[in-house]
Structure 1
Amino acid sequence: MNTKISASQLFAAITLVPYGSAVLFYINPEAKQDAWLAILIYIIPAVILQLIYTSLWNKYPNDTLVTYMPKIFGKVIGCTLSILYITFFAYEASRVLRDFSELIAISSMQRIRPYITSAALMITIAYALFSGIETLSRIVHICFYLWIFFFAAEWIFLYVTPNELKFYNLKPFLENGLIPIIKNSWKLISFPFGESVLFTMFFPIVKEKAKVRKSAVLAIILEGILLSLNTIMFIAVLGVSFASTSLFPLLQTLRTMHIGTVLDRLDIFIILIMIIVGFIKIGFFTYGAVLGTTQLLKLKDTKYISLIFCIIITITSLLIARNYPQHIYIGQTLTLTYVHLPLTIAIPIITLLTYEIKHFIGSK
């Protein structure tokens, strides 16, 4: 495989791709005003999950998730699991596409049909994928620094906007203790942290092999800190009740910020930046499905397969739910429990244990 990306590009992608859609929502509303603390706590199991992903890759440094599954489980079970992961990547791309097409429709372009917005987004993504993963990796590397600047600007603008940051909304702190928070926040490990299973498809193409594990772990830690600060912002500005019921709490939060009468109604710039981040996430998940398919079918070129997947993902994004509330319900209940949990946590753990048992038996 001649395609190569750098460790810093991998770090930026692991940080920004799962963060790209999670930032839109008030994730983990069950923890109420302690939701930010739950995210920080679940950084620890998320790091352990990265150690599992990188350990599996270390066993087969030239293979992706799709190609080492048949080597561990055998052809029938392994290929079945590989197909499941390819489907998962494509499904996630379609869900994120629906998220951002709805964001555009609700926030600024109410009269435009959703299929037009989705098609326009996927045309640009198809062009990026046709150019190769190196192009997409360079884009995410640049956008990473842009997003950090944007994130700092959010806090500055909200701070100088009178009476916007109401930190008393964060109280009472640990009202029911720590155990209920940990117990009710288990979904965090599957979303957003578990979505980094996608990058097991990209570990083999990183130039600096020795930096893969370090980049993955540090990216997860940074992602958790950013999401925790993002949740604090939602609670401080909107309060727990409004943040929990809002379709797009990030948009609602940032619409409140202004500096005098000069910098007011900045939401159009905010939407533009969020769409860029969404573009990156959809692109990486689509490419994960494309790469897995070409490896499973032993094809050499990903360009034309990527066009086929872009069409499939666009159509799927329109069909997965009748309306946006149903889309959110499916994502937060059915998908997290029956899709994310087994594919991002259970199967990788079982895969590593299976490898170790087979290796132990073989050595004896």
Structure 2
Amino acid sequence: MEKAKISAIQLFILMVLFELGSALLVPLAIDAKQDAWLAILFGMVGSLALFLVYHKLYTYYPTLLPTEYMRKILGKVIGTVLAFIYILYFMYDASRVLRDFGEMLLTFAYPDTPLFIANALLMLIIIYTVRKGIEVIARSGELLFIFMYVLAIAGFILILTSGLIEIKNLQPILEEGLLSPLKVALSETLYFPFTEAVVFTMILPYLNDSRKAKVTMLCATGLSGINLAITMLINVSVLGVNLTERSEFPLLSTIESIQVANFLERLEVFFMVGMIVGIFIKITVLFYASTIGTANLFKINSPSRLSYPLGIIVLLLSITIASNVQEHLHEGLHIVKTVLHIPLFIIIPLILLLVAFLKNRNQQRGKSV
């Protein structure tokens, strides 16, 4: 670990921007149709329970990175293998979000630019930021948080004043009962974007006041969940369920619809700037976690030396993980959930907590005897 500390406010901001990240881009939970906003809220509530699991592990080992305490809990061999799997996942997830960025940029702004060039430019900035350390990442998050929310509030006001919202598009509520949004929550929104924030277990040891970790994580998830639910409410009310479902980037389509007094229009550039902010923070956090995790696992004294080789791997992976945007989205929303998200976000943390609890209880008994 580098010798650095961040505040609870900085952790809160990083988590909110991380969870908004690429989730604002896609038609999140649209399988629940006009109840997509409910599916997002259900997924958020489920993730809060899992964050309590992550936090309890942190309280057992407040000064250790997960790559360290996994070896303490499960033994050197199994713990090392498991820690390496999580590092690979963080790099893979970073490459997926980088691909989201490239596809968005090429679709709406630079259609003739090679995907590699677009991704490489952002990756260079992220590598530079990660080399500066967690304190610089956190301070960058504070500035970008204000900027992103100013854009969001302005966009919301413009959508209201342009008269685009049709409440009837949100009706009937719970047409198929609670089962539909619950099913989508358990199959999608629980994992993306909320419990992706398992990566913050790699950041928690840098928190300057460990007592504030739990409330910070829960509040950040609550705010991002409410924001995502409002976003989907707006998307569906403006575009309707069918158009939202067919759109690759529904929020961009919503912003493109804004027209105030036949003067204020073509505002998608502001949307893209806001999206780049969230995506930048999400990739940076994932890439930072993979960098310090690799350095910790292989006992490399200077994690910053790893940023260039690992950055090249993430960049190349972002180009090769899918042949087109449809394949990329299908893989992310359906395949990755079963293969990676359920084991890494739910099963393994629960096993780690159970073993850590038993070990801690036995140690307490040994001391009392």
Q: TM class, shorter-chain normalised?
A: over 0.9
1:181 matched to 2:181: yes
1:279 matched to 2:280: yes
1:129 matched to 2:94: no
The unaligned stretches of length 5 or more in structure 2 are: none
Give the distance between the partners of 2:51 and 2:249, measured in 1 at CA: 29
> Is contact 2:42–2:181 with CA below 8 Å preserved after alignment?
no
> Is contact 2:44–2:222 with CA below 8 Å preserved after alignment?
yes
> Is contact 1:30–1:185 with CA below 8 Å preserved after alignment?
no
Q: What is the identity, as a one-letter code, of the residue corresponding to 1:19?
A: L
Post-superposition shift, 1:24? 0.6
Post-superposition shift, 1:43? 2.4
Give the distance between the partners of 1:210 and 1:264, measured in 2 at CA: 47
Secondary structure at 1:111 match in 2: coil
Q: What is the identity, as a one-letter code, of the residue corresponding to 2:322?
A: A
> Is contact 2:151–2:270 with CA below 8 Å preserved after alignment?
no
Give the distance between the partners of 2:282 and 2:122, measured in 1 at CA: 12
1:330-352 deviations in Å (ceiling 9; x for gaps): 11111122111211121111110
Give the distance between the partners of 1:341 and 1:263, measured in 2 at CA: 45
TM-score, with length taken from structure 1? 0.97
1:77 matched to 2:68: no
Post-superposition shift, 1:185? 2.3
Q: 1:169 aligns to what?
A: 169
Tell me how many residue pairs correspond in the alignment: 363
Q: What is the identity, as a one-letter code, of the residue corresponding to 1:269?
A: F
Q: What is the identity, as a one-letter code, of the residue corresponding to 1:49?
A: L
Post-superposition shift, 1:265? 0.3
User: Which segment is superposed worse, 5-14 or 268-277?
Assistant: 268-277
Q: 1:138 aligns to what?
A: 139
Q: What is the identity, as a one-letter code, of the residue corresponding to 1:151?
A: A
1:293-350 deviations in Å (ceiling 9; x for gaps): 0111112212120111111110000010111111111111111221112111211111
Give the distance between the partners of 2:360 and 2:4, measured in 1 at CA: 31
Q: What is the identity, as a one-letter code, of the residue corresponding to 2:148?
A: W
Give the distance between the partners of 2:323 and 2:77, measured in 1 at CA: 35
Q: 2:225 aligns to what?
A: 224
Q: 2:13 aligns to what?
A: 12
Give the distance between the partners of 1:217 and 1:42, measured in 2 at CA: 13
> Is contact 1:72–1:355 with CA below 8 Å preserved after alignment?
yes
Give the distance between the partners of 2:148 and 2:347, measured in 1 at CA: 32
Query: After superposition, where does 1:95-110 map in structure 2 within 5 Å?
Result: 95-110=96-111
Post-superposition shift, 1:359? 3.0
Q: 2:198 aligns to what?
A: 197
Post-superposition shift, 1:212? 1.1
Give the distance between the partners of 2:330 and 2:44, measured in 1 at CA: 25
Post-superposition shift, 1:361? 4.3
Give the distance between the partners of 2:48 and 2:128, measured in 1 at CA: 34
Q: 1:345 aligns to what?
A: 346
Give the distance between the partners of 1:30 and 1:244, measured in 2 at CA: 8
1:35-62 deviations in Å (ceiling 9; x for gaps): 1012222322211111111110000011
Q: 2:298 aligns to what?
A: 297
Secondary structure at 1:185 match in 2: helix
Q: What is the identity, as a one-letter code, of the residue corresponding to 2:332?
A: G
1:114-154 deviations in Å (ceiling 9; x for gaps): 00101111111111112222111111112222222222212
User: Which segment is superposed worse, 92-101 or 276-285?
Assistant: 276-285
Q: 1:332 aligns to what?
A: 333
Give the distance between the partners of 1:34 and 1:345, measured in 2 at CA: 25
Give the distance between the partners of 1:47 and 1:145, measured in 2 at CA: 25
Post-superposition shift, 1:81? 0.7
Give the distance between the partners of 1:184 and 1:119, measured in 2 at CA: 34
Q: What is the identity, as a one-letter code, of the residue corresponding to 1:166?
A: E
Q: What is the identity, as a one-letter code, of the residue corresponding to 2:179?
A: I
Give the distance between the partners of 2:197 and 2:272, measured in 1 at CA: 24
Post-superposition shift, 1:183? 2.5
1:171-209 deviations in Å (ceiling 9; x for gaps): 011112113321332121111111110000010111122
1:12-44 deviations in Å (ceiling 9; x for gaps): 111111210001111112211111012222322
> Is contact 2:19–2:221 with CA below 8 Å preserved after alignment?
no
Give the distance between the partners of 2:238 and 2:292, measured in 1 at CA: 42
CA RMSD of aligned residues (A): 1.3
Q: What is the identity, as a one-letter code, of the residue corresponding to 1:199?
A: F
